Structure 1
Amino acid sequence: MDLQRRNNVTVRGEGPSTLIFSHGFGCDQTMWNYLFTHFTSRFRVVLYDLVGAGNSSLEAYTREKYLSLNGYARDLNEIVDAYAEGPVILVGHSVSAMIGALADRMAPGRIAAHVMIGPSPCYIDSDDYVGGFTSEDIQSLLDTLDSNYLGWSSNMAPAIMGAPGQPALSEELTNSFCRTHPEIAKHFARVTFMSDNRKDVTGLATPTLILQSTDDLIAPVVVGEYLHAVMPNSQLTLVDNVGHCPHMSAPSACSAAMDAFLCTWMPKHAG
């Protein structure tokens, strides 16, 4: 199966470098519509849907391949090889930030930089780490998903989105959750929330911008601080925002932070 059909790949804009946008759980590439257009006059922009989401090919989905995030990382590297031109910057929201880190580990040197929006390498607290949830919290979440995915989506989307002054965004996220195949979403949720990628991000030397909302139910600020501490070439920028999707609810702040970051290491191309 060709990659365009498998991942519903879309290419916009032109420039000497490529920005690849990778969405989070329950979303698809349309969630980037508030942000990506800012970059199309200066960059080649590649958008895609994770297999099982959006308009990707459901025929390409197997539980065996996507039993861990590694399957999605291999897909991402194939998209990089097929569609990217020049230096590659991965823009990953939530779980896709970790998919990007895994892709980087699999093909060292191919990815020039990361922009991680609301990333978390591990959601579960441990003795020496704060992820924001107890193991009981995560198991309860997964049990609720298994028993009533659509109900969970309707109840949780507004809390995940935040943005209390922009109710249309909560509705957009709810609709995105509801478009995702329920059985695939349940499996992907388990893969996402049970993953522990702390070893994968520790010492990752690729220049990285960590963008965190100041108030995020899913990825609290302490998680961004952890990532900044263990990734030697990272910088942490806090966006004054409530919710897990600042690329939707605060796109101007996100684009400004990305512009500043891009200018620090590729001034010839960032404009």
Structure 2
Amino acid sequence: MSAVQRNNVRLLGPEHAPAVVFAHGFGCDQHMWRLVAPRFADDHRVVLFDHVGAGNSDLGAYDPRRYTSLGAYADDLLELLHELGLREVVFVGHSVAAMIGLLAANAEPDRFAKLVLVGPSPRYIDDHDYYGGFSAGEIDELLESLDRNYLGWSAAMAPVIMGNADRPELGQELSNSFCRTDPAIARQFAEVTFRSDTRADLGKVSVPTLILQCSEDVIAPREVGAYCNANIPGSTLVVLDATGHCPHLSAPDETFAAIDGFLRTG
């Protein structure tokens, strides 16, 4: 099966225009970009896809022996870009997908023109003088909760992750997305995500990078955005007024404006 089929690729916009690739985070799929991505289709080739194991990807392609690290997802991304013949793309990745794109860009920098990292975190667990937002024990408890009752975890955690308690429909949408994901796949992806440590890869980035940080985010606190900014050479940090971990859903206008402004510079 081709990468385009495997990852349920959807293409918008002019065929030969500069490409913008959107990648979703844990428990989500490409539909989460619906309020932002199509706005770029007038003058960009917009590429949307689902990670293997998510959305309408080919679930038969998911091999738990392969997907034990973010590197496997980065390899999928590169395979997809090769298959589509894309170079100098702008990659927009949300949450863990931000690090997936960063790893891919470090492996083949000529494939990438710019990176946009939305709510990135190179490590979620605190470590000596590094603040990731979670203790090792808290991540253990999170994963144990996933094991015990994935649907219950999804219902309880989605509104917390989304924030914006005054708009409960947003938390409900994220919960519904979590619940559409195969629990076994979600559990392994959670393990890979929350135990990842890509801090050493930040300094290897050689393409212009925008970091979009929400003003309040329980998953990727402001200290984490500042750390990424300090360690990715020449990166730009923009702190959005948006709160929660999914500004492309809760504040799509502000998110679009920040990405669009970055695309128009340099």
- Could you say whether these structures have the same fold, taking a TM-score greater than 0.5 normalized by the shorter chain as the test? yes
> Structure 2: how far apart are the matches of 1:188 and 1:203?
24
| Mapped contact 2:86–2:111 kept (Cα < 8 A) | no
TM-score (norm: length of structure 1): 0.95
Q: What's the offset of the Cα at 1:219? A: 0.2
TM-score w.r.t. length of structure 2: 0.97
Residue by residue over 1:86-121, the C-alpha shift from the partner in whole angstroms, topping out at 9 and shown as x without a partner, is 520110000000000111122132111100000000
In the alignment, is the contact (CA less than 8 A) between 2:88 and 2:110 conserved in 1? Answer: no
1:144 and 2:145 matched: yes
CA distance in 1, matches of 2:165, 2:43: 33
1:24 counterpart residue number = 25
Equivalent residue, structure 2, for 1:10: 10
Question: 1:210 is matched with which residue?
Answer: 211
Q: Is the CA contact 2:212–2:240 (under 8 Å) kept in the aligned structure 1?
A: yes
Tell me, in whole angstroms, the C-alpha distance in 1 between the residues paired with 2:230 and 2:218. Answer: 21
Runs of at least 5 residues in structure 2 that lack an aligned partner in the other structure: none
Q: In 2, distance between residues paired with 1:254 and 1:248?
A: 9
Rounded Cα–Cα distance in structure 1 between residues aligned with 2:98 and 2:58: 22
Q: Percent identity?
A: 52
* SS of equivalent to 1:227: helix
1:37 pairs with 2:44: no
How does 1:83-232 map onto structure 2 within 5 Å? 83=84, 85=86, 87-232=88-233
- Equivalent residue pairs, number: 265
Distance 1:251 1:74 in 2: 29
One-letter code aligned to 2:83:
A
In 1, Cα distance between equivalents of 2:230 and 2:125: 18
Look up the SS of the partner of 2:111 in the other structure: coil
Checking the alignment, whether the CA contact within 8 Å between 1:213 and 1:246 is kept in structure 2 is yes
1:18–1:84: 8 Å Cα contact kept in structure 2? no
In 1: Cα distance, 2:227 partner to 2:215 partner: 15
Q: 2 CA distance for matches of 1:55 and 1:202?
A: 34
Alpha-carbon distance in 2 for matches of 1:46, 1:118: 20
Aligned equivalents of 1:238, 1:38: Cα separation in 2: 21
Corresponding residue of 1:244 = 245
Q: Distance in 2 between matches of 1:210 and 1:165?
A: 26
SS in 2 for 1:30: helix
* Secondary structure of the corresponding residue to residue 109 of structure 1: helix
Give the drift of 1:165: 2.8
Question: What is the CA-CA distance between 1:35 and the residue it aligns to?
Answer: 0.7
Equivalent residue, structure 2, for 1:269: none
**Counterpart secondary structure, 2:110:** coil
**1:117/1:84 CA distance change after superposition, 3 Å:** farther
Q: Does structure 1 retain, via aligned residues, the 8 Å contact 2:87–2:111?
A: no
**SS of the residue 1:264 aligns to:** coil
Q: Which one-letter code corresponds to 1:236 in the other structure?
A: L
Task: Return the offset for 1:198.
Answer: 0.3
CA 1:235–1:84 in 2, change beyond 3 Å: closer, same or farther? farther
- Return the alpha-carbon distance in structure 1 between the equivalents of residues 85 and 169 of structure 2: 33
Q: Deviations over 1:153-176 (max 9, x none)?
A: 000001111122322211111111
**C-alpha separation between the residues in 1 aligned to 2:34 and 2:149?**
29
CA RMSD of aligned residues (A): 1.1
- Whether the 8 Å contact between 1:16 and 1:85 is mirrored in structure 2 is no
What letter corresponds to residue 160 of structure 1 in structure 2? Answer: I
Secondary structure of the residue aligned to 1:112 is strand
The 8 Å contact of residues 81 and 87 in structure 2, kept in 1 or not, is answered as no
Give 5+ residue unaligned stretches, structure 1: 266-271
- Higher mean C-alpha displacement, 94-103 vs 82-91: 82-91
Asked if structure 2 preserves the Cα contact closer than 8 Å seen for 1:53 and 1:180, the reply is yes
